[in-house]
């Protein structure tokens, strides 16, 4: 078994609620709200306007710079193009589509005649047009990762760690659609020109490992499944690279710096569908779970489905639900409304009504050092907290706050219930502000000097 990384925590995985429940298809929603930002990078520009008819898979948002296109997930009529709440907080320009329940497939979706005969460039183009992004939640555009990594990458890793508690979407995919995963791996191996793809899976999903191994044996695929020790954040991209290859990504670097490229399980499935059927990303598997949900389930729904429909499909919420989270409990984002839609990176919707949130009124650090032992980036959260609290920006920067990936392991383990992760988000902003102010001051000084010089010359 691959040795895990240094640090991390081991929360109760809470996966028993949904890991034996097959993925259900949601009854088609009457309306979907598709936000124009579901990827890492600038938001897309809408290509449709109110009143336009759209079909499933039709491109409705085009990206600029770093990003991925966005497609209609249902057929019907565009009702509005307006800002709506979305899961990353605040409002985002969204295309609202009224479903005609016909599921008419767009003419833009064309399956390649012979997927296995495609060149690498053609495959990357298909991935790009399909709007595939990292489905694990980071939502980094996949075609950028592939085209940027070709030639540099000798380890292609598939991230099946699914280390966040509650989430079981990837696990169910391994059980129900192993051939899509392995098929996607084949194409990835071809694109990167490697002879082996490694799937890293935490060892609490033994039946998932077995299901994939069966398909690998049957199809003689160039894929190896590597069981990993259960440890949060095993599914962090850099932690996975370390666990499998033993190499560490340098600070501020990307996995490609050490010759690795990491793809999520469902990203791999999306790549498979894009290359074999030309199908863009129009649906998402969401684990709906948590103490506030009547009947937890794994649900596949069109992108843009309002979250309230997911909860309705699970029997509604219990009284006293005080928190709704898009994503896992460690890194997910708390929502202030259920009017947000499912995006490409929404792997889970959790509702809590129990004692998950354990805050104390006046937390005080007892210096136990448990946060230091838990930090997978090997930082010292307790000192960073003090610097951030006192606004000591230079010290904060020297403590490498910018390396913090906000995984929440330190705050999870803190017996004093300090708001560590929250403080580091603030602290990072302080460092950024200071850097911007310093830069502006330096430029102003330079401009002033240039002006004085000019005046001196004029004299």
Q: What strands, in cross-sheet order, belong to the sheet with 91-99?
A: 31-35, 91-99, 76-85, 53-54
Q: Which two tokens stand for residue 294?
A: 């009547």
| Cα–Cα dist 273/22, whole Å | 20
| Cα–Cα dist 60/244, whole Å | 39
Subset of residues 72 to 101 that bind another protein, contact rule: CB under 8 A: none
329 belongs to the binding site for another protein (CB under 8 A):
yes
| Cα–Cα dist 192/158, whole Å | 13
165 belongs to the binding site for another protein (CB under 8 A):
yes
Question: 33 CB contacts (<8 Å, ≥6 apart)?
Answer: 84, 94, 95, 96, 304, 306, 341
421 belongs to the binding site for another protein (CB under 8 A):
yes
Q: Which of 106, 204, 219, 248 binds another protein (CB under 8 A)?
A: 248
How many residues at the interface with another protein, by CB under 8 A?
68
Among 145, 171, 141, 139, CA closest to 157:
145
Binding characters for another protein, 208-247, by CB under 8 A (x = yes): ------------------------------x---------
Please tell me whether residue 2 adopts helix, strand or coil conformation: strand
Q: What strands, in cross-sheet order, belong to the sheet with 59-62?
A: 45-46, 59-62, 70-71
193 and 154 Cβ atoms separated by less than 8 Å: no
Subset of residues 278 to 307 that bind another protein, contact rule: CB under 8 A: none
From 52-60, 211-219, 268-276, 360-368, give the range in contact with another protein by CB under 8 A.
360-368
Name the minimum Å distance from CB 352 to another protein.
7
Q: Which of 64, 367, 445, 454 binds another protein (CB under 8 A)?
A: 367
425 belongs to the binding site for another protein (CB under 8 A):
yes
Q: Which of 317, 349, 393, 396 binds another protein (CB under 8 A)?
A: 317
- Residue 33 burial by CB count (10 A; 0-12/13-18/19+): exposed, middle or buried? buried
364 belongs to the binding site for another protein (CB under 8 A):
yes
Name the minimum Å distance from CB 350 to another protein.
8
Please tell me whether residue 111 adopts helix, strand or coil conformation: coil
Q: Which of 352, 385, 393, 396 binds another protein (CB under 8 A)?
A: 352
Instruction: By CB under 8 A, name the binding residues for another protein.
Output: 9, 11, 165, 238, 248-251, 253, 308, 311-312, 316-317, 321-325, 329-338, 350, 352, 356-358, 360-362, 364-369, 372-373, 375-380, 382, 400, 403, 406, 408-409, 411-417, 419, 421-422, 425
């Amino acid at each position: 078994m691959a040795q895990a990384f240094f640090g991390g925590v081991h929360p109760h995985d809470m996966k028993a609620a949904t890991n034996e429940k097959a993925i259900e298809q949601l009854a088609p929603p009457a309306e979907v709200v598709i936000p124009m930002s579901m990827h890492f990078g600038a938001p897309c520009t809408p290509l449709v306007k109110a009143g336009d008819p759209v079909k499933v898979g039709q491109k409705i948002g085009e990206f600029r710079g770093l990003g991925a296109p966005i497609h209609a997930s249902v057929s019907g009529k565009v009702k509005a193009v307006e800002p709506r709440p979305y899961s990353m907080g605040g409002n985002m320009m969204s295309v609202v589509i009224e479903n005609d329940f016909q599921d008419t497939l767009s003419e833009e979706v064309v399956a390649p005649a012979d997927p296995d005969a495609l060149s690498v460039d053609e495959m990357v183009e298909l991935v790009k047009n399909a709007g595939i992004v990292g489905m694990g939640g980071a939502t980094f555009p996949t075609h950028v990762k592939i085209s940027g990594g070709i030639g540099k990458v000798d380890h292609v890793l598939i991230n099946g760690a699914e280390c966040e508690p509650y989430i079981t979407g990837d696990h169910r995919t391994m059980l129900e659609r192993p051939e899509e995963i392995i098929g996607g791996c084949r194409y990835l191996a071809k694109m990167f020109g490697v002879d082996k793809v490694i799937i890293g899976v935490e060892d609490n999903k033994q039946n998932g490992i077995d299901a994939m191994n069966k398909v690998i044996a049957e199809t003689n695929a160039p894929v190896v499944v590597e069981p990993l020790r259960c440890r949060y954040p095993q599914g962090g991209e850099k932690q996975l690279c370390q666990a499998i290859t033993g190499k560490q990504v340098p600070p501020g670097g990307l996995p490609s710096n050490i010759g690795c490229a990491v793809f999520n399980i469902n990203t791999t499935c999306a790549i498979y569908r894009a290359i074999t059927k030309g199908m863009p990303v129009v649906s998402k598997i969401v684990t709906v779970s948590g103490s506030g949900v009547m009947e937890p389930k794994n649900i596949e729904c069109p992108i843009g489905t309002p979250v309230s429909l997911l909860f309705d499909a699970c029997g509604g919420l219990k009284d006293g639900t005080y928190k709704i989270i898009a994503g896992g409990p460690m890194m997910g984002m708390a929502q202030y409304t259920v009017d947000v839609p499912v995006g490409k990176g929404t792997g889970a919707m959790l509702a809590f009504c129990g004692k998950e949130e354990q805050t104390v009124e006046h937390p005080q650090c007892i210096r136990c050092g448990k946060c230091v032992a838990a930090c997978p980036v090997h930082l010292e959260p307790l000192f960073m907290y003090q610097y951030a609290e006192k606004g000591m920006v230079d010290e904060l920067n020297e403590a490498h706050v910018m390396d913090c990936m906000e995984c929440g392991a330190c705050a999870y383990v803190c017996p004093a219930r300090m708001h560590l992760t929250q403080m580091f988000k603030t602290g990072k902003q302080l460092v950024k502000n200071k850097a911007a102010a310093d830069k502006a001051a330096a430029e102003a000084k330079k401009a002033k000097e240039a002006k004085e010089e000019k005046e001196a010359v004029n004299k």
